[in-house]
Structure 1
Amino acid sequence: MFGFGLPELSIILVIVALIFGVGRLPELGGALGKTIRNFRKASEGKDEIEMKSREA
């Protein structure tokens, strides 16, 4: 996968944790999962995608 190994992915994870904070990582992971799911649905031609407004 683009030449990324375990050391590179762990360095990226540490940088993301420093930028966003450890407490927000699950929230970011969930948002990324929904984005990928919606992209797959849109590329398959399905009309329904999941939309949710951001809560403050």
Structure 2
Amino acid sequence: MAYSKELAATRLVPVAVQDLTAEAIPCGELRARPSHAYRGGSFPYLLMAADRV
């Protein structure tokens, strides 16, 4: 995972990762229909928490 490598380069270690791709809403769809979820899956939306070591 490229994210982990970049975090490690700055002395950060991921302690939690949550994939929010299924819940993400693209801007165009958000404006048109805020109740629809992102279905494309072509871009991962991740929520990461990290600690400095």
Which TM-score tier does this pair reach, normalised by the shorter chain? under 0.3
Higher-helix-fraction structure: 1
- TM-score, normalized by length of structure 1? 0.27
- TM-score, normalized by length of structure 2? 0.28
